[in-house]
Structure 1
Amino acid sequence: IVGNNQCNEKSDSDVLCLKNDPNICDDGEIVYLRRGSSWFMGGFMSNFCGTNVLFNGLLKYVSWIRRITKLHYLEESDESCQPIDVEPEPFYYLLNHFPSSCGKYTVNKIAGGHAASVFEFPWMAIVLYREDGSDKLSPLCMGSLINQRYVMTTAQCANGDPFKPYRVRLGEHTIDQEEDCNANDEEDCAPPVLDVDVECSLGHQGYDHGTKLNNIGLIRLARAVQFQDHIQPVCLPGTYDLARTQLPNYIVSGWGRNETRQRMKSLRKAIVSSVDETKCRTQYALFGLTLAEDQFCAEAGAGSSGNSCHGDVGAPLGYTAGYYGTQQFVQFGIAAFGTFGCREAPSVYTNVSVHVGWIIGNIRP
């Protein structure tokens, strides 16, 4: 293999540049690579004959080949992202996997306004997806940072049908704005956002597309992130008391769309109220939907635009609560779905406390 600089700078990261026998100039010629006792197709000739020749590498096309051929042996396999059923006792193992300094939140910021302050929700994550053959990344889901390697979201976002999560953005507040500063203090600014590639992702093995039962998933980052003021983990409801906690109000945050379907640029928040389970089930029955046993409902008050109805899938819902002796922000729900009208029925959330054991059983160091 010849380096790119020695190949007349005609190659890029998706191209193999090899020395060539000038007498062999077949268009479409295949190059094979050996790994152990197995041979793999590495690329095919794409350019000129002579001393050097360029081959298109196949790595970038594997997802396209997989989608077209449906070959089972091309399916991605990663032990760290294969969901398992084993669920250890959650409250015993929790602090072994998650930082105790999670959920840093200033209590007096809870009330007032829909615009979130910079640093207010440092666990917010935007999940980016790349369509096959495109370099454009689309923010289709949200999530929350739970430790240095994992983001929690819904199963539908983690499974990524039809596209897998490609990258996660952390520390964001106002999308497409170079520097995020608090409105009341222009000198109180956050460091730049952090984009981290996705190593792999997994949705709950029991996820039901119809009822959205077990609608929870994990995204494993390609590297551990360093916590900063604008990048912090949220707490999980991993104590017996928190697992039984049912609060009258919660806070939901995200960059979804408002009732006119306009995407919000700045991070928003809203206080939402718990909805009686029977009432919520009755309302969704009108749409032919049956709520799953691991779901609960919440809605914004009259005159508020806080429901997570458009584009907020995967957004965290939580509130400050007692966490090992201190008041910290705990995530109790993950935005799963809502109605198209925003006001026609409450938003539905996956109950995180039901799945703490699954989370612990499926994360790796």
Structure 2
Amino acid sequence: MEASLVPRRSLICWVLTFGVLWLSSKVQAQSAPCTTPTRQDGLCVAIHRCRNIYDIVQNPTPPPIGIANYIKRAACTLPGVERAICCQPQEVVPEPTISSAKIDLLPKECGQSVTDRIAFGNVTQVFSYPWMALLRYNQNGEIIDGCGGSLINNRYVLTAAHCLKTRSTLKLVQVRLGEHTRNQDIDCNIYKDKYGEEIERDCAEPVEDYQVESFEIHPDYNRPKYSNDIGLIRLDRDVVVKYHIRPICLPVTPQLRLKQFERYIVTGWGTTENQTGSQVLLEATVPRVNNDECQQTMLQNRLNVQLSDKQMCAGGSGKVDTCRGDSGGPLGFSTDLNGPRFIQFGVVSAGVDSCGKKNVPGIYCRVGSYMDWILDTIRP
């Protein structure tokens, strides 16, 4: 029998009414009407929810006197909030609504190194970045190394969408964890005395290869071009935490979602300044570039990119940049999350082909803007 559509107008009306009432109660609990120092209607919210003001107070450089006075005059009182501010409504960041059950799918023990493809990068130590993942592809019957990624829990790897949506002759088939030096079976830190004689070595267990059970690409990837460049890989079995295989932390709190640093650390095996893939995992410290400045640089170099607040820029200064092969890898920094943890704030997305030959920043997908999507997508 042929199926037919059934009107659901009454159900929709009930859902919408309930939703509006629920949202109204949530907003009232999280904010209150106020008047800004410029006599405009505003909302009194926790300062971390006021995007433009929080960006200023998080900057290590003191703001100009005029702006500092504005922030002081914009202070307001909100029950249960230590520091609140009267914020322009368009700058208010919604509080996350993800349930604690979803948050629990991400590990609390993350972002920890066991030890106390980057142009002009530094060679890393074994165990320094145990969350690094190496994506491997089948190209005409040959297994080749490609993008990077990061282990975020016992079943999922975070990467770039363009690393998953590949041409028909290039198919993602494997994810390698615990890798450091690609052309060695066993990776070791070797310690020598002042005469150059080896006195000790600390070796990791062999790498572990996982098959790809499935993957998810953000539904709005590449709309517009280069935007929403984020994806998730579900591995074929659970990952057992070891010294050389551990998950990275994600910005799970509202404060971390908005937090910015003056510099970040990016890691990968990708193309170096010599245009060859590195056998050893490299790291580089890259300066943050604000989006307005980054957009201007892109236009000056005739790059057709329209940045959004879900993207961020870093690098370019001193010809330090990420290159092809670093795509999907993590951009992060160490900060406090129940103690010092390395937290991933960006996913390597796009950049110029110069690989550090020009001072052009790289573009990163801002992880904090996609936490709801990540938590909605992953499953036990």
TM beyond 0.5: yes
Counterpart contact for 1:173–1:180, Cα < 8 Å: yes
1:225 to 232, 235, 239: 239
Question: What is the TM-score normalised by the length of structure 1?
Answer: 0.70
1:329 to 321, 337, 342: 342
2:310 to 294, 297, 316: 294
The residue number in structure 2 matching 1:281 is 295
Q: Which runs of 5+ in 2 are unaligned?
A: 1-94, 193-199
The residue number in structure 1 matching 2:113 is 105
CA distance in 1, matches of 2:365, 2:103: 22
Structural mapping, 1:58-207, within 5 Å: 89-90=97-98, 92-93=100-101, 95-105=103-113, 114-132=122-140, 134=141, 136-162=142-168, 163-184=170-191, 186-207=200-221
1:156 is displaced (CA, Å) by 1.0
Counterpart contact for 1:123–1:144, Cα < 8 Å: yes
CA distance in 2, matches of 1:89, 1:143: 27
Deviations 1:49-108 (CA, angstroms, capped at 9, x unpaired): xxxxxxxxxxxxxxxxxxxxxxxxxxxxxxxxxxxxxx9724744541011000003796
Q: How many residues align?
A: 271
Percentage of pairs with the same residue = 38
CA distance in 2, matches of 1:309, 1:218: 21
Question: What is the TM-score normalised by the length of structure 2?
Answer: 0.67
Specify which structure has the higher proportion of helix.
2
What SS class does the counterpart of residue 119 from structure 1 fall into?
coil
CA distance in 2, matches of 1:90, 1:307: 35
Q: Which runs of 5+ in 1 are unaligned?
A: 1-86
1:301 is displaced (CA, Å) by 4.2
1:321 is displaced (CA, Å) by 1.1
User: Within the alignment, does 1:315 sit opposite 2:366 as a pair?
Assistant: no
What SS class does the counterpart of residue 361 from structure 1 fall into?
helix
1:294 is displaced (CA, Å) by 1.2
The residue number in structure 2 matching 1:35 is none
What SS class does the counterpart of residue 376 from structure 2 fall into?
helix
What SS class does the counterpart of residue 284 from structure 2 fall into?
strand
CA distance in 2, matches of 1:278, 1:216: 22
CA distance in 2, matches of 1:213, 1:150: 22
Counterpart contact for 1:90–1:356, Cα < 8 Å: no
Structural mapping, 1:13-32, within 5 Å: none
CA distance in 1, matches of 2:237, 2:320: 34
Counterpart contact for 2:96–2:254, Cα < 8 Å: no
Segment drifting more, 285-294 vs 188-197: 285-294
Structural mapping, 1:332-351, within 5 Å: 332-341=345-354, 342=356, 343-351=358-366
Counterpart contact for 2:312–2:365, Cα < 8 Å: yes
CA distance in 2, matches of 1:177, 1:121: 17
1:213 is displaced (CA, Å) by 1.2
Change (3 A) 1:88 1:149: farther
1:300 is displaced (CA, Å) by 5.3
1:277 is displaced (CA, Å) by 1.3
1:309 is displaced (CA, Å) by 2.2
Structural mapping, 1:240-279, within 5 Å: 240-279=254-293
What SS class does the counterpart of residue 315 from structure 2 fall into?
strand
Counterpart contact for 1:105–1:320, Cα < 8 Å: no
CA distance in 2, matches of 1:241, 1:205: 26
Change (3 A) 1:192 1:203: same
Segment drifting more, 174-183 vs 205-214: 205-214
1:258 is displaced (CA, Å) by 1.1
Deviations 1:95-137 (CA, angstroms, capped at 9, x unpaired): 41011000003796xxxx71111000000000111135x1x11
Change (3 A) 1:199 1:353: same
Counterpart contact for 1:255–1:263, Cα < 8 Å: yes
1:235 to 244, 249, 264: 249
Counterpart contact for 2:330–2:344, Cα < 8 Å: yes
What SS class does the counterpart of residue 122 from structure 2 fall into?
coil
For the aligned residue pairs, the C-alpha RMSD in angstroms reads 2.2
Deviations 1:234-272 (CA, angstroms, capped at 9, x unpaired): 000010110110111110000011122111110000111
1:164 is displaced (CA, Å) by 3.4
What SS class does the counterpart of residue 201 from structure 2 fall into?
strand
What SS class does the counterpart of residue 134 from structure 2 fall into?
strand
Change (3 A) 1:95 1:228: same
Counterpart contact for 1:159–1:202, Cα < 8 Å: no
